[in-house]
Chains A and B, each alone.
Chain A
Amino acid sequence: MSMLTVTIDGKITTVPAGSTILDAAKKLDVDIPTLCYLNLEDLRINNKGASCRICVVEVEGRRNLAPACATPASDNMVVKTNTLRVLNARKTVLELLLSDHPKDCLVCAKSGECELQNLAEKFGIRESPYDGGEMSHYRKDISTSIIRDMDKCIMCRRCETMCNDVQTCGVLSGVNRGFSAVVAPAFEMNLADTVCTNCGQCVAVCPVGALVEHDHTWEVVDALANPDKVVIVQTAPAVRSALGEDLGIAPGTSVTGKMAAALRRLGFDHVFDTDFAADLTIMEEGSEFLDRLTRHLNGDQTAKLPILTSCCPGWVKFFEHNFPDMLDVPSTAKSPQQMFGAIAKSYYAEILGIPREKLVVVSVMPCLAKKYECARPEFAVDGNPDVDIVISTRELARLIKRMNIDFAGLPDEDFDNPLGESTGAAPIFGVTGGVIEAALRTAYELATGETLQKLEFEDLRGMDGVKVATVQVGPHALRIGVAHGLGNARKLLERVRAGEAFHAIEVMACPGGCIGGGGQPYHHGDIELLKLRTKVLYDEDAGKPLRKSHQNPYIIELYEKFLGKPLSEKSHHLLHTHYFKRQRL
């Protein structure tokens, strides 16, 4: 590859051809502000909208300023990033943005981590020279998962890139022109009426408060204050890999113990773990897989392969909209969140000796789709939902701050039993490849009766968008596919539709899996951050004495005392679900 010599602010570096000025500046530690830029190269997405113009720089020999994020570096280019001309231009761009922006920081969900606010602070904008100028106005759009407040939108179009290019959902795009231009669903429908999967990847990258999660923290506070309710909480695997980031702890630090302690301080009556339900999911989904596989091999036409994982509600809604002809392919196993809710409000309510209505199940999820999932009507009994309230990782951090809990100073504590125990197979549910790896560990031993020697399925790990590997389980060579990000899932599903043979496929809607979920501390497309979170979960797995779901003693007990065996009638009733055809627009 040919190398280019670039001078930025007097410092010289060389970068490979194809690099942008911004790439070169990064190499030199020259900080250029950005708003619309998103580095999605690891996801193989070319994102060069260059619409905000905050990153403009002076390039010798060029008439106007150049956007650093989208301008290719050329050999012997001389760039200046901090001249008066550049600073004035950036200040004007900021002043213009602010002139069409509500000054709502005090009541804005993004305050404190808003990229626009940070820039306004950095540039010392103290007054708006365009006061009295007209502002664009748009109605608020509130779905169960997401709140769109387009008055705050700065038209950076990052959400569009995530929704259309990464997720291929095609929900969000620019509509209207000029000053009234806005990012919206087709026909300016409400998000809830579209094919939106609630994956929240648009929220994960929005630099301002235009796209935020639907906050449910006050519902939690109310429930905790209600003396008539028993309030229990479950936390998804990925939460512990990132919660610390919002509470002053370095990325890549596991905060499992502190999280359990914090939840107890918040006043939850019992602190449980979705990891327990992840082990349960493996029992059901793994057994379903083995059952389908055996029947399929025995020539049973109704036993369809591949089996698709179904623990990601973003993915579930995606295939309901986009692959309605394949609704019999996914596993019927509910997601761990919903399995937990179903068991809590039956088995555990029985143990406590209280009616299900008295129990409030709160989930802490890395995910915004889970908010939608818990409200799906099939996950309620007589109007009482199995899971009552879902808050995201970010919201939990907010609650912890609100309640004045010194998170960093908390001791490490354990989850409660019986719904808090888990094996190493559970935490890896939070990363791409993890669910199928966990399932294979159990399926292998159940199918062969032998002990699996090497637990790590390296071929199924990592950030490649689509991973395909063949795994030997006894006499069977199983062809396994893994996709993360819905665009990759679509590609893989299209291969299946075209006749390519797979035995099992895992899909997670978010880049990197749930660790990159729409409810996690904002990842803003930073893949390095996702890798740090991944490591937390693999380390947690490696550190557990038991690493296969079927070894979980409380799961064994649950089957003995309550469910019978995997795929029993009771299991089917409580732990399995069905899917619906949904419209495509």
Chain B
Amino acid sequence: MAATTQIKQLRIATRNCGFIDPESLDDYIALRGYEALAKVLTMTPAEVVEVIKTSGLRGRGGGGFPTGVKWGIALSNKADQKYMVCNADEGDPGAFMDRAVLEGDPHSVVEAMAIGGYAIGATLGAVYIRAEYPLAIKRLRLAIDDARAMGLLGKNIFGSGFDFDIEIKYGAGAFVCGEETALIRSMEGHRGEPVSKPPFPAQSGYWNKPTIVNNVETFANIPAIILKGADWFSSIGTATSKGTKVFALAGKIVNVGLVEVPMGTPLREVIFDIGGGCPDGKEFKAVQTGGPSGGALAHKDLDVAIDYESLIARKSMMGSGGMVVMDEDDCMVSVAKFFLDFTMDETCGKCTPCRIGSKRLYEILDKITKGHGTHADLARLKSLCEAIKDTALCGLGQTMPNPILSTMDTFAGEYEAHVTQKKCPAHVCTAMLTYTIDAAKCTGCTLCTKVCPVDCITGTKKQPHVIDASKCIKCGACYDKCKFDSVIKL
């Protein structure tokens, strides 16, 4: 990352990443590691919950539910056994903040889970981690073993009488297994399918016991909050969203990678000041936040201060922090179709609207991108999106329509062009393209005739050439080959 990118960043969750040897417990301790746990053990569980509540910390796994409130529910539910679960499934394509934390600072998560366990009255913890993260698994395992060897996990931690231990559970690699109820089913050895809420896991979760599921990044914030205080944390961010958020910048952006910025940072700063804008001088078109569950934000949204509410107000969401940047060459209908393709593959198939609806949404989008869409299709697309949002069982289905609804909203003209003029303004949807040769520019160099796989370009040397549109298969070879920019996409 360029040096300037550090300026606007503020690292809390990733505070140690890159600064310590993640395989060294001593390194972590040297930076006040496990001090927060020691401190918490001198407080009552209710006091700990209160600190987290006051800090305003909200879940970083997508939903943004206030962490302290959730802990409070689990604390008040009496049970012979409770569980503290860390969600490290991270199935969102292009997201890798949780991996970065686990690979760069695993002890912060281990410490935070113990703190959470103490706060809610759980003696057992589990990290549900995707099996595709071997390095994160190795370091996490090492961290747990080292902590146990030092008495930071196990029986009677710091002589306080508090017992806590952590086991690792491996995810099967399905996106939906990151949904907390599906995650719990999967941990119990069942098919990873969500179940209807309420009851929420904090009431009845793993083996029907009160269970807190928190995201890796959520946990990573906790030791810092305990050490520096709730007021410090809540002084950062916006009215409703406190602290920082880690984003993964991807797509058409110069500085690809992770950034951690205070809540409330304007989108423009993240994309241009930190991200460096779009490469090759291309014009910024949109940014998809929240991965396949989110929506596309455009120019008009660039000065929005990023927080949970501002994104939802724009038919998007924070999600786990993915930011995929699109430039002028991206077709927004195709972008929506791309995300639908993902969710269609990842739906568990349990409930009707998501199982069949995702297929139908995809089919309609496909029809539009192939140039066969009608206004009736647009209307159907919209009403189906609304119905799915309203009826799907879990977050995956409920948010699946977001990429479509937000692009239909912000880029209505682009949908309209596909349907009415049968044109893709970004020239991405091949079916609607025509290649022609600008006679005024063509020098008759004949290069294009040599690359055309179907020999549909004719013309004599030094005379303008012509493409036979009825034979052209729209491969684009001539367009790429022509040195005089005389082949035009329409």
Check if B380 is an interface residue, CB within 8 A of chain A: yes
The reply to whether the CB of A4 lies closer than 8 angstroms to some CB of chain B is no
Q: Are B363 and A134 in contact (CB under 8 A)?
A: yes
B344: chain A residues within 8 A (beta carbon): 178-179
Residue in contact with A178 in the complex, picked from B352, B358, B389, B390, CB distance below 8 Å: B358
Closest B residue to A173 by beta carbon equals B191
Q: Are A53 and B392 in contact (CB under 8 A)?
A: yes
A88-B383 contact, Cβ under 8 Å, with A100-B356, A173-B191:
yes
Tell me the complex Cα distance, A41–B274, Å.
58
Q: Is the CB of B359 within 8 A of A71?
A: no
Residues in chain B near residue A53, CB distance under 8 A: 351-353, 391-393
Query: A56 to B347, alpha carbons, bound, how many Å?
Result: 20
A134: chain B residues within 8 A (beta carbon): 359, 363
- The number of residues on chain A lying at the interface, defined by a beta carbon within 8 Å of a beta carbon of chain B, is 39
- For residue A551, CB closer than 8 A to chain B, the reply is no
Q: Are B191 and A174 in contact (CB under 8 A)?
A: yes
Candidates B196, B352, B359; contact of A70 at CB < 8 Å:
B196
B51 near A: Cβ within 8 Å?
no
User: CB distance B356 to A64 under 8 Å?
Assistant: no
Q: Does chain A have a CB within 8 A of B193?
A: yes
Binary contact track B324-353/A, C-beta < 8 Å → 1, others 0: 000000000000000000001111111111
Once A71-B196, A133-B359, A134-B363 are accepted as A-B contacts, the answer to whether A178 and B346 lie under 8 Å apart by CB is yes
Q: When the two chains form their complex, are residues B391 and A177 in contact, meaning their CB atoms are under 8 A apart?
A: no
Q: Is the CB of B357 within 8 A of A178?
A: no
Most B-side CB within 10 Å, residue of A48, A51, A54, A67: A51
Cβ < 8 Å to A, chain B residues 346-395: 346-353, 355-360, 363, 380, 383-384, 387-393
Using known A-B contacts A67-B196, A129-B380, A133-B363, determine if residue A93 contacts B352 with beta carbons closer than 8 Å. yes
The answer on a CB contact under 8 Å between B360 and A96 is yes
Residue numbers in A under 8 Å from B143 (CB-CB): none
Contacts of B351 in A (CB 8 A): 50-53
Q: Which residues of B contact A178 (CB under 8 A)?
A: 344-349, 355, 358
Contact of B353 among A49, A71, A96 (CB under 8 A): A96
Decide yes or no whether B289 CB sits under 8 A from chain A.
Answer: no
> Once the chains bind, are A89 and B387 in contact (CB under 8 Å)?
yes
Tell me which residues from 94 to 114 in chain A have a Cβ below 8 Å from any Cβ of chain B. 96-97, 99-100
Q: Is the CB of A179 within 8 A of B349?
A: yes
* Interface residue? A536 (CB, 8 A): no
A176 within 8 A of B: yes
Chain A residues with Cβ below 8 Å from B363 are 130, 132-134
How far is it, in angstroms, between the C-alpha of A334 and the C-alpha of B406 when the chains are bound? 68
Expressed in whole angstroms, the minimum distance between the Cβ of B262 and any Cβ of chain A is 28
Point out residues on A near B: beta carbons under 8 Å.
Answer: 48-54, 56, 64-65, 67, 70-72, 85, 88-89, 92-93, 96-97, 99-100, 129-130, 132-134, 154-155, 157, 173-174, 176-181
Known pairs A52-B351, A70-B196, A92-B387 / 7 extra A-B pairs, C-beta < 8 Å: A64-B398, A88-B383, A88-B387, A92-B383, A130-B360, A173-B191, A174-B350
Q: Return 26 A-B CB contacts under 8 Å, by A number.
A: A50-B351, A50-B393, A51-B350, A52-B352, A53-B393, A54-B352, A67-B196, A72-B198, A92-B383, A92-B384, A92-B391, A96-B352, A96-B356, A97-B352, A132-B363, A155-B349, A174-B191, A174-B193, A177-B348, A178-B344, A178-B347, A179-B347, A179-B349, A179-B358, A181-B348, A181-B350
